[in-house]
Amino acid sequence: TTVLRQVDGYLQEYQTEKSRRKEIFSDLWCARPRDSGSIGTDEGLFEPPQSLSSSRAVVERILCQRSSQMRDQQRAWQESPDGRKILEFRSSLPAYKEKEAILSAISRNQVLIISGETGCGKTTQVPQFILESETELLRGAGCNIICTQPRRIAAISVSERVASERGEKLGETVGYKVRLEGMRGRDTHLLFCTTGILLRRLLDDKNLKGITHIIVDEIHERGINEDFLLVVLKDLLACKPELKLILMSATLDAELFSSYFNSASTMKIPGFTYPVRTHFLEDILEMSGYRLTPDNQFDDYGQERIWKMNKQMPRKRKSQLSSSVEDVLRAADFNYYSLQTRESLSCWNPDCIGFNLIEYILCNICEDERPGSILVFMIGWEDINALKEKLLTHPVLSDPNRVLLLMCHGSMDSLEQRLMFEEPEAGVRKIVLATNIAETSITINDIVFVIDCGKAKESSYDALNNTRCLLPTWISKVSVQQRKGRAGRVQPGECYHLYPRCVYDSFTEHQLPEILRMPLQSLCLQIKSLKLGSISEFLSRALQSPEILAVQNAIEYLKTIGALDKNENLTILGRQLTVLPMEPKLGKMLIFGVIFNCLDPILTIVAGLSVRDPFLTPLDKKDLAQAAKSQFSHDYSDHLAIVRAYDSWKDAEIDNAGHDYCWKNFLSPQSMKVIDALRVEFLSLLKDIGLVDGNMSSCNAWSYDMYLIRAAICYGLYPGICSVVHKDNSFSLKTMEDGKVLLHSNSVNARETTIPYPWLVFNEKIKVNSVFLRDSTAVPDSVVLLFGGRISKGDTDCHLKMSGGYLEFFVKPAVADMYQSIRKDLDKLIHSK
C-alpha cells in the first residue's frame, strides 16, 4: 500500500508537471514569434522532471503504461469494423509492405532518404509507422514527429487523413500547423506543418528541443524553403545525434540528397502502376476527326516556331476546332497573352481552342468511356475558374446527375476537399480541375483519365536586372510523368496531353530548383534572424548554391531598406520584419501604418498585394472593366485603387450586396473576401507581437490623408522607384537599373497623360520583352526625401544621382541638415517602436 501510494503521489506530481510542460510545449508548437514570453527554458520538454529523477524508473514505467494504453486504444480501433477496413486499405499500400524495413532503416541511420511513387503511402504511412513503433516510442520519453509539407493545403488534408486512419479526431495524436491556422492538442505527437512553420520554429529554439524525428516531404520539388531547411538541419544533426531526419521524394533520384548528407542511406519503395496510354495533341485531333496531312505534320514546326507563336497574341475568336496547323499549334499554347503577372491571368479567354479541346475530351469520356474520374491539370486558379464557367454552360457537363465538377487548388475549403477524395454516386462522373498541386502532394484515388495542359506557373528571377518573372511555362519531363502516373492508380488509364509530341521532346528533364530562380531577400533575412553567420558562406553550403550576384542583390536590398546595417547585422527594424510572415516591404508598410496611425488603408494594401489582382479584366469586356476601375482611381495609385474598391465593397456588404457590387464593377468577390480575412489576420498578428495594443481605434484610424499613405507606400516599396519625365503631352519612366520602363496596361497610371508628382514607387517590375511595372503609386519629392533616397550636401541647387541601387539627393547644406535631422528623428521613432 505504501509503495502504491508513493507511486500515486509521483504519478500525480508527474502529471501536473507534465501538463504544465505540455502547455509550454503547445505554445511552442504554435511557433510563436520571438519575444512572446516563456519560451526557451533549458528544461527538457519530454524528459521526466528533475525533481523526480530519483524515481525515474517508476516514471518510465508509468510512461510505458501510458504508451501501452495508447497502443491498446489503437488495437481496439483496428479491430472495429471501420478500423479493420482502413487497416486493410493501409496494408495494401506499397509503403506498408516495407514497414519493417523502413523502421529498421530509421533506427540504424540518422538520415534516411525514402523515395517512392506518388500515392505509394509515404506521407500518410511513414509518420504513422514511427508513431506506432515501440522502439521509436521508447527513445527518450516518447517521440515527437514533425512532417513538413511545401503547401498548406497538403499539410491540412494529410493530417486529416492520418487522424481518420487512426480513428481519432484531428488534434489528438495528430495535428497540423500552417500559417495563421492550426489544430493540435496536448497529446499531439505527430505534427504536419508547412516548411515555413518549422523554419519559424527554429527562430525560437535552434535545437528543436523535444523533437525526435523530422520528416521533410516532397524534397524532389526543390522548393527554396526546403533547400534552406536542409542546410540548417545538416548542422543540427551534427550536434544532436539523437535527432532523426527522413527525407521523402516522389522521384527516384535520391543520389543528390544522399551525397549531400555524407552518403546517407536510401530506400526505394517499389511501386506499381497500371499502364497509362498517352495521347499527344496530334492523336487527340485525329480522334476528333481532324487529319494531319504530310504538309502539316508537327515535325515541321520546331520549338522556335512555337515559341514565336507563344509571343503573339491571337485575338481571333475561335469557337470550333479549326483545321489549320497554326491554329492547332496554338491549341498547345495555353498562354494566350503576353504580359501576365501577379496572377493577372484574369483576362483568360475561355473561347480559346485549348478550352474547346478540353471540353471535347471531357464530353467524349463522359459519354463513351468506362467509369473512372477525370483529373485536368490547368495552370492556375484563374483558368480553372474560367474553364469551370465554360463547362457549366455545357448540356452534359453541367448536369449534376451525370457530372460532379470540383476544383482543386491552394485555397479550396474542406467540403470541396472531402468531395474530392470521396467516390461519387453511381453513374456520376467526377471531374477535378487542378493546379500542379495534384501532381504529387495530393492523391485522388479513383482517377483513370488525365488531361494535361503542359504548363504551370513558374516564377523566376533575373539577378542581372533584379527583376522577377512569373509566367506560365512548359513543365519538365519529370512533371509530365507524374501527371500521367495519376491515371494508372486503380486500373489502366489514359492521359491526354494538349501539346504535340515534338513539344514534349523539347521539355527539360527537371525543373530548376527554386533557390536558383527566386529573389533571396526573405531567405537572407531568415539566415540572419537564425544567427547562421555570413549569408554568402551559409548559402555556399546549400545543395545547389545560388548565383553570387543574386545573393549580393538581396543583401544590398536589405541594407537599402534598413533591415541590415552595413556589417550585415539585423537592425531593430530588420528583427521586426523577420517576425512578420510577409515580404519585408509589406512588413515595413504595416509598421509604418502602426506608427503613423493610418493602419486601416495600409492593411488593405498589404492584404491586396498578397492576393490575386482584385480587378478583373475579361478580354472581351476590357473597356467596360477599365471604365469600372476608373471610379476607384483618382489618386494616381493602384494601391489606393485597391483601398477604394475594398471600402466600397465593404459598404455594399453591409446590405448583403457585396457580390452584386463585385459583379457590376468587375471586382473579384473571392479576392475581396480574402483581403477581408487577411486584414483581420494581420491585425491580430500585429497585436500578438505587441506592435498594436488592445485599443484598436487609436491605431487603426482610416485616414484619407493621401500624403501619409503615399509616404507609407514609399517607405515600404523604396528602392522600387522610377522617375517620371514629362514630354509633349505624355511621360516616360526611368528606373535606376533598367533605364526606360513601361507601365502595365492595367495600371491606373497607364491611362494618365500627366502624373502630378515626379516619382512612381512600384511593387514589382516584371520582364517580358520590356520591363513592365505593375501597381504603382505617384509620390512627391518630399516623401522620397524623408522615406526613400539618401540626402547629401551639394553646393548648387538640388540635383540628383541614381546609382548603386539608391537615389542620392544633393541639396543645399542648410536644407540637407534639416532633412537629415528630421530623418534621424523619424528613424528613432520607428526603431523605438
Binding site for ligand CDP (CB under 6 A): 93, 116, 118-125, 157, 161, 421, 443, 445
Stretch that binds Mg ion, among 119-127, 188-196, 446-454, 503-511 (CB under 5 A): 119-127
Min dist. Cβ of residue 441 to ligand CDP (A): 8
Stretch that binds Mg ion, among 122-130, 203-211, 480-488, 818-826 (CB under 5 A): 122-130
Min dist. Cβ of residue 122 to ligand CDP (A): 3
Is the Cβ of residue 288 or residue 414 nearer to ligand CDP in the bound state?
414
Contacted by 763, from Mg ion, ligand CDP, none: CB < 5 to 8 Å by type: none
Min dist. Cβ of residue 119 to Mg ion (A): 8
CB-based contact 116:122 (threshold 8 Å): yes
CB-based contact 379:334 (threshold 8 Å): yes
Cell numbers found for residue 138 = 521508447
Min dist. Cβ of residue 86 to ligand CDP (A): 10
Min dist. Cβ of residue 265 to ligand CDP (A): 19
How far is residue 615 CA from its own chain's centroid?
22
Min dist. Cβ of residue 115 to Mg ion (A): 11
What whole-number distance in Å separates Cα of residue 462 and Cα of residue 765?
11
Min dist. Cβ of residue 559 to ligand CDP (A): 42
CB-based contact 261:83 (threshold 8 Å): no
Contacted by 776, from Mg ion, ligand CDP, none: CB < 5 to 8 Å by type: none
Cell numbers found for residue 425 = 454516386
The 3 state secondary structure assigned to 204-254 is: HCCCCCCCCEEEECCHHHCCHHHHHHHHHHHHHHHHCCCCEEEEEECCCCC
Is the Cβ of residue 115 or residue 123 nearer to Mg ion in the bound state?
123
Is the Cβ of residue 218 or residue 638 nearer to Mg ion in the bound state?
218
Query: What's phi and psi for 430, nearest 5 deg?
Result: -90, 125
Min dist. Cβ of residue 272 to ligand CDP (A): 12
Contacted by 788, from ligand CDP, Mg ion, none: CB < 5 to 8 Å by type: none
What whole-number distance in Å separates Cα of residue 784 and Cα of residue 711?
8
Min dist. Cβ of residue 121 to ligand CDP (A): 4
Is the Cβ of residue 124 or residue 435 nearer to ligand CDP in the bound state?
124
Is the Cβ of residue 197 or residue 641 nearer to Mg ion in the bound state?
197
Residue with cell 500515486: 8
Min dist. Cβ of residue 158 to Mg ion (A): 7
Is the Cβ of residue 192 or residue 504 nearer to ligand CDP in the bound state?
192
Contacted by 121, from ligand CDP, Mg ion, none: CB < 5 to 8 Å by type: ligand CDP
CB-based contact 391:361 (threshold 8 Å): no
What whole-number distance in Å separates Cα of residue 164 and Cα of residue 180?
23
* Strand 213-216 with 244-249, pairing: parallel
CB-based contact 228:199 (threshold 8 Å): yes
Is the Cβ of residue 250 or residue 611 nearer to ligand CDP in the bound state?
250
Contacted by 719, from ligand CDP, Mg ion, none: CB < 5 to 8 Å by type: none
Contacted by 161, from Mg ion, ligand CDP, none: CB < 5 to 8 Å by type: ligand CDP
Is the Cβ of residue 119 or residue 716 nearer to Mg ion in the bound state?
119
Is the Cβ of residue 273 or residue 700 nearer to ligand CDP in the bound state?
273
Contacted by 421, from ligand CDP, Mg ion, none: CB < 5 to 8 Å by type: ligand CDP
Q: How far is CA 39 from CA 145, 243, 464, 630, in A?
A: 20, 21, 42, 51
Stretch that binds Mg ion, among 115-123, 330-338, 420-428, 724-732 (CB under 5 A): 115-123
Stretch that binds Mg ion, among 121-129, 489-497, 636-644, 650-658 (CB under 5 A): 121-129
Min dist. Cβ of residue 268 to ligand CDP (A): 12
Q: How far is CA 770 from CA 697, 720, 723, in A?
A: 45, 17, 17
* Secondary structure of residue 425 in the 3-state scheme: coil
**For 225-239, b where at least 16 C-beta lie within 10 A, e where not — what string?**
bbbbbbbbbbebbee
CB-based contact 452:497 (threshold 8 Å): yes
Contacted by 576, from Mg ion, ligand CDP, none: CB < 5 to 8 Å by type: none
* Secondary structure of residue 268 in the 3-state scheme: strand
Contacted by 77, from ligand CDP, Mg ion, none: CB < 5 to 8 Å by type: none
H helices of 248-348, where? Answer: 255-260, 281-287, 303-311, 325-332
Is the Cβ of residue 219 or residue 535 nearer to Mg ion in the bound state?
219
What whole-number distance in Å separates Cα of residue 590 and Cα of residue 577?
10
Min dist. Cβ of residue 118 to ligand CDP (A): 4
Contacted by 794, from ligand CDP, Mg ion, none: CB < 5 to 8 Å by type: none
CB-based contact 535:541 (threshold 8 Å): no
Closest CA to 521 of 472, 469, 576, 577: 577
Is the Cβ of residue 123 or residue 746 nearer to Mg ion in the bound state?
123
H helices of 400-520, where? Answer: 414-421, 437-440, 477-485, 501-505
Residue with cell 511552442: 28
Q: Count other C-beta atoms under 10 Å from residue 793's C-beta.
A: 13
CB-based contact 574:28 (threshold 8 Å): no
Min dist. Cβ of residue 172 to ligand CDP (A): 17
Contact pick of 74, 123, 346, 526 for Mg ion (by CB under 5 A)? 123
Is the Cβ of residue 123 or residue 310 nearer to Mg ion in the bound state?
123
Start-to-end CA span in the chain (Å): 61
Min dist. Cβ of residue 247 to Mg ion (A): 12
Is the Cβ of residue 168 or residue 781 nearer to ligand CDP in the bound state?
168
In the complex, which residue's CB is closest to Mg ion? Answer: 123
Query: What's phi and psi for 462, nearest 5 deg?
Result: -105, 100
Contacted by 22, from Mg ion, ligand CDP, none: CB < 5 to 8 Å by type: none
Is the Cβ of residue 96 or residue 557 nearer to ligand CDP in the bound state?
96
Q: How far is CA 238 from CA 140, 241, 242, in A?
A: 19, 6, 10
Contacted by 120, from Mg ion, ligand CDP, none: CB < 5 to 8 Å by type: ligand CDP
| Residue ranges binding Mg ion (CB under 5 A) | 123
